[in-house]
Amino acid sequence: MEAGSAIERAHRAYVAAAAVLVVLNVADVGLTRAAIEAGASELNPISRSFIEHGALAYAIKFAVPASVLLIALRRRARARIDVIHVAAIWTIVGIYLMVVFINAVTWAHLR
Protein backbone atom coordinates (compact mmCIF):
# COMPACT_ATOMS: atom_id res chain seq x y z
CA MET A 1 0.00 0.00 0.00
CA GLU A 2 1.36 3.35 -1.01
CA ALA A 3 1.75 6.01 1.73
CA GLY A 4 0.21 8.74 -0.42
CA SER A 5 -2.94 6.74 -0.98
CA ALA A 6 -3.26 6.00 2.75
CA ILE A 7 -3.01 9.72 3.46
CA GLU A 8 -5.64 10.45 0.81
CA ARG A 9 -8.01 7.80 2.21
CA ALA A 10 -7.60 9.16 5.74
CA HIS A 11 -8.24 12.68 4.48
CA ARG A 12 -11.38 11.64 2.57
CA ALA A 13 -12.70 9.76 5.61
CA TYR A 14 -12.05 12.81 7.80
CA VAL A 15 -13.74 15.21 5.37
CA ALA A 16 -16.74 12.88 5.08
CA ALA A 17 -17.06 12.73 8.86
CA ALA A 18 -16.78 16.51 9.15
CA ALA A 19 -19.52 16.94 6.53
CA VAL A 20 -21.76 14.45 8.35
CA LEU A 21 -21.10 16.36 11.58
CA VAL A 22 -22.36 19.59 9.97
CA VAL A 23 -25.53 17.83 8.78
CA LEU A 24 -26.09 16.23 12.20
CA ASN A 25 -25.63 19.62 13.86
CA VAL A 26 -28.38 21.11 11.70
CA ALA A 27 -30.62 18.10 12.43
CA ASP A 28 -29.89 18.44 16.16
CA VAL A 29 -30.94 22.08 16.23
CA GLY A 30 -34.08 21.45 14.21
CA LEU A 31 -35.19 18.42 16.19
CA THR A 32 -34.34 20.05 19.52
CA ARG A 33 -36.46 23.08 18.65
CA ALA A 34 -39.30 20.86 17.43
CA ALA A 35 -39.19 18.75 20.61
CA ILE A 36 -39.19 21.86 22.81
CA GLU A 37 -42.14 23.30 20.90
CA ALA A 38 -43.91 19.96 21.47
CA GLY A 39 -43.34 20.23 25.23
CA ALA A 40 -39.88 18.79 25.90
CA SER A 41 -37.27 20.59 27.96
CA GLU A 42 -33.57 20.87 27.19
CA LEU A 43 -31.52 19.03 29.81
CA ASN A 44 -28.09 20.02 28.49
CA PRO A 45 -27.16 23.34 30.16
CA ILE A 46 -24.96 24.42 27.24
CA SER A 47 -27.71 23.74 24.69
CA ARG A 48 -30.25 25.40 26.97
CA SER A 49 -28.05 28.51 26.90
CA PHE A 50 -28.03 28.40 23.09
CA ILE A 51 -31.80 28.19 23.04
CA GLU A 52 -32.14 31.09 25.47
CA HIS A 53 -29.69 33.33 23.59
CA GLY A 54 -31.08 32.82 20.11
CA ALA A 55 -29.42 33.50 16.78
CA LEU A 56 -25.91 34.42 17.93
CA ALA A 57 -25.57 31.26 19.97
CA TYR A 58 -26.84 29.14 17.07
CA ALA A 59 -24.36 30.85 14.76
CA ILE A 60 -21.57 29.82 17.10
CA LYS A 61 -22.96 26.29 17.34
CA PHE A 62 -22.97 25.99 13.55
CA ALA A 63 -19.58 27.69 13.14
CA VAL A 64 -17.66 25.03 15.09
CA PRO A 65 -18.40 21.99 12.88
CA ALA A 66 -18.32 24.13 9.74
CA SER A 67 -14.84 25.32 10.74
CA VAL A 68 -13.70 21.74 11.25
CA LEU A 69 -14.92 20.92 7.74
CA LEU A 70 -13.29 23.99 6.17
CA ILE A 71 -9.97 23.27 7.89
CA ALA A 72 -10.14 19.65 6.70
CA LEU A 73 -10.72 20.81 3.14
CA ARG A 74 -7.53 22.87 3.14
CA ARG A 75 -4.71 21.13 1.30
CA ARG A 76 -2.13 21.58 4.07
CA ALA A 77 -4.36 19.77 6.56
CA ARG A 78 -4.27 16.66 4.37
CA ALA A 79 -0.74 15.66 5.42
CA ARG A 80 -1.51 16.04 9.14
CA ILE A 81 -4.62 13.86 9.29
CA ASP A 82 -3.91 10.35 10.51
CA VAL A 83 -5.87 7.35 11.75
CA ILE A 84 -6.27 8.82 15.25
CA HIS A 85 -7.92 11.97 13.86
CA VAL A 86 -10.23 9.91 11.67
CA ALA A 87 -11.20 7.64 14.58
CA ALA A 88 -11.78 10.62 16.86
CA ILE A 89 -14.04 12.52 14.48
CA TRP A 90 -16.06 9.40 13.60
CA THR A 91 -16.50 8.76 17.32
CA ILE A 92 -17.88 12.29 17.68
CA VAL A 93 -20.19 11.62 14.71
CA GLY A 94 -21.44 8.47 16.45
CA ILE A 95 -22.18 10.38 19.65
CA TYR A 96 -23.93 13.15 17.72
CA LEU A 97 -25.96 10.57 15.79
CA MET A 98 -27.16 9.18 19.12
CA VAL A 99 -28.16 12.68 20.27
CA VAL A 100 -30.08 13.34 17.06
CA PHE A 101 -31.81 9.97 17.36
CA ILE A 102 -32.85 10.72 20.95
CA ASN A 103 -34.18 14.13 19.85
CA ALA A 104 -36.15 12.52 17.03
CA VAL A 105 -37.67 9.91 19.32
CA THR A 106 -38.55 12.56 21.93
CA TRP A 107 -40.16 14.78 19.32
CA ALA A 108 -42.10 11.89 17.79
CA HIS A 109 -43.32 10.79 21.21
CA LEU A 110 -44.56 14.29 22.13
CA ARG A 111 -46.29 15.10 18.84
What is the mean pLDDT of each successive set of 10 residues along the chain, which is 111 residues long?
Answer: 71 91 90 91 84 77 85 72 88 95 95 89
Specify the pLDDT at position 33. Answer: 86
Contact yes or no for 7/68 (Cβ under 8 A): no
For residue 103, give the nearest of 43, 20, 60, 15 by alpha carbon. 43
pTM: 0.81
Domain that holds residue 70: 3-110
Specify the pLDDT at position 78. Answer: 66
For the chain, the domain total comes to 1
Specify the pLDDT at position 75. Answer: 65
Contact yes or no for 15/78 (Cβ under 8 A): no
Please state the separation of Cα 28 from the chain's center in Å: 9
Specify the pLDDT at position 3. Answer: 55
